[in-house]
Amino acid sequence: MVRLIALAVALVLASVCQSTPQPVPTPTPSPSPHTAVADAVLQQSEVPNGLNLCAGSGPFDAYITNLQSSQPELAGRLNDQWLSLRTQGATGAAISLYSSNDSACTAELASISKSKSAAAFVAVFADEGQADRAWQTGVLGFTPPAPGELPPGLSRGTPTGLGPSAWIYDRSPVRLACWHKSVFVALVVLTNLDLNAFRAATAAVNARLN
């Protein structure tokens, strides 16, 4: 009799276990892929009318190669600066340039001219720490000001609208922003364009840096 009771209890327990739904493990969501640098830079629809895409825009290596025949000294300097970023962990970079005059397409970034122009450079790194350190040491020769150093036309940090790791130089005719976000460093330079165009350009690039 005892054995029959034990058997009955075992059957009841087995039935309960089988009828109780088992929790289904929730899959860990995959992280969103980072934006490709070619997509992160300024696009044609984001610059004022009258500016045309310059030859050489695209991968930064190709941009440097395009400059070698007309601006060998500038090409050599940019190549050294790009190698420096790569030694700090950069895995890719792109640049887009738009200008009202073809002559500005091969000019040094932030150089003063009568042409209207807009340029954006974005480099991607293996991790956020590398991107931050590269930004602090300078991007294509543009180095953030020392803490407490704010000459006329320069602002830094949250007031720029681009986050704490950002600085802006705004002295007409040149407007320039350089910042670090996620695994990216970005540089946007506008010449002979108004403040609204500058804000729109930096906001467009910043929104894609994930």
Q: What is the pLDDT of residues 83-127, one digit of tens each?
A: 999 999 999 999 999 999 998 999 999 988 889 999 999 999 999
Domains of the chain as residue ranges with CATH: 35-207 (3.40.1000)
d(CA 57, CA 61): 10
pLDDT in tens, 23-52: 555 555 546 799 999 999 999 999 999 999
Residues with Cβ within 8 Å of 142's Cβ and at least 6 positions away in sequence, in order, are 110, 176, 178, 187
Quote the tokens at residue 116: 């209207």
Residue whose C-alpha is closest to residue 94's, from 187, 189, 198: 187
Give the mean pLDDT of 165-177: 94
Res 6: pLDDT: 41
Res 151: pLDDT: 82
Res 15: pLDDT: 46
Res 48: pLDDT: 95
Res 8: pLDDT: 40
Give the mean pLDDT of 72-78: 96
Sign of the C-alpha dihedral computed for residues 43, 178, 174 and 83 taken in this order: negative
- Ramachandran region of residue 22, left (φ > 0), alpha (ψ -120 to 50) or beta? beta
Res 25: pLDDT: 56
To the nearest 10°, report the CA torsion of 85, 184, 95, 155: -90
pLDDT in tens, 127-148: 999 999 999 999 999 999 887 7
User: 2 falls in which pLDDT band (50, 70, 90)?
Assistant: very low
- Ramachandran region of residue 192, left (φ > 0), alpha (ψ -120 to 50) or beta? left
Peptide bond into 173 cis (omega under 30): yes
Quote the tokens at residue 159: 């007031």
d(CA 150, CA 167): 10
Res 7: pLDDT: 38
What pTM, to 2 d.p., does this model score?
0.83
Of 10-14, 67-71, 115-119, the one with minimum mean pLDDT is: 10-14
pLDDT in tens, 189-208: 999 999 999 999 999 999 99
Res 26: pLDDT: 55
